[in-house]
Structure formats: C-alpha cells, structure tokens
C-alpha cells in the first residue's frame, strides 16, 4: 500500500465529540447521536463525514487500551456562523499528513497496525501531535469489506 504525503490546510469542522478509550469504545453511540442532526449543518463544504481523534501527548508512547482520547463525528464547513444546538466547532490545524486510501471493513484494525508498526518506523517521518482523522466519503460502508475511506495520520520529518 503506497500512501501519499499531503500538506493539509486548516479545516473548520462542526460536530459532536465524546471522551472514550479503546476499552470503553463509544464510537457507535457517538455516530448515532450525530447522524440524525447532521442535516442541521447548513454550511457544509461536502457530504463527506469526518471521524477525528485527538490523542493526549504520549498516548502511543505509553499505550494502554484504557488511555482516553476525544473522538469527533463531524462535517467540514465554510464557517462557524450556524452551529446547531448540541454541536461544537473545531479548527483542524494545518500540517503534514500521510494519507492511506483504505479499502476494507472499519472493524479491521490491521491497517493501523501497519501504519504505526511498519510504515512510520521505516519512513523518514515520525508521528506528530495533531488530530488523526478519516474522511468517510460516498464509498464508505462501515463494516463492509468493500468500504473505502481516507486515513489521515499527522507526521513530521524525523
């Protein structure tokens, strides 16, 4: 799998967020609370959904399944002028990312084992301390083995 390196420009997001861990995963609950209200976001740039994770510094260095992180279900917007009740805003900062075009089930974690265990250690980059996210476009089908998404991992030169 050959990823591409992208320099992301700042993105404005509107969505919902939950604190969770891998041991106490609330991803399904987060998306169930977001999806019925997403149509209330009137200034979206596209129909793509964004699944974003904000990890605490040191999350991966001292990895445990109980380490908490913040997960977002969001949509990119042009501005923050109309924020629906119960939703929040987030400015995703610009920076360098490695992007993997992934095809497979959202429950198959082997892609992340490859990214963090093989690709990053063998690359000229190290993990950067910025949000990680996936872009879930029209070919995204959740747990379907034919589902497609883009996985964006923040990097910096070693």
CATH number reported for the structural domain that contains residue 96 in this entry: 3.20.80.10
Span 124-153, mean pLDDT? Answer: 93
Q: For residue 125, how many C-alpha atoms fall within 13 Å in the half-sphere facing its CB? A: 22
The pTM score is 0.93
Closest CA to 130 of 48, 52, 14: 52
Indicate the range of 33-42, 78-87, 140-149 predicted with least confidence. Answer: 140-149
What is the number of domains present in the chain?
A: 1
Q: What is the domain range of residue 126?
A: 4-157
Q: In the structure, what pLDDT confidence band is assigned to residue 144 with cuts at 50, 70 and 90?
A: confident
Residue 31 in tokens: 């998306």
- For the stretch 139-149, what's the b/e string if a residue is b when 16 or more beta carbons lie within 10 angstroms of its beta carbon? ebeeeeeebeb
């Amino acid at each position: 799998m050959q990823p591409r390196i992208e320099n992301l420009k700042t993105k404005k997001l509107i969505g919902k967020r939950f604190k969770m861990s891998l041991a106490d995963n609330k991803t399904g609950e987060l998306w169930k609370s977001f999806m019925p209200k997403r149509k209330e976001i009137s200034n979206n740039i596209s129909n793509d959904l964004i699944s974003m994770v904000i990890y605490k510094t040191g999350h991966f260095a001292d990895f445990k399944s109980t380490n908490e992180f913040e997960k977002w279900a969001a949509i990119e917007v042009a501005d923050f002028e109309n924020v629906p009740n119960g939703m929040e805003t987030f400015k995703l900062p610009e920076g360098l990312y490695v992007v993997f075009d992934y095809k497979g089930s959202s429950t198959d974690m082997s892609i992340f084992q490859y990214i963090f265990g093989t690709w990053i250690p063998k690359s000229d980059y190290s993990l950067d301390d910025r949000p990680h996210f996936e872009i879930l476009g029209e070919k995204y089908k959740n747990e379907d083995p034919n589902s497609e998404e883009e996985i964006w991992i923040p990097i910096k030169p070693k």
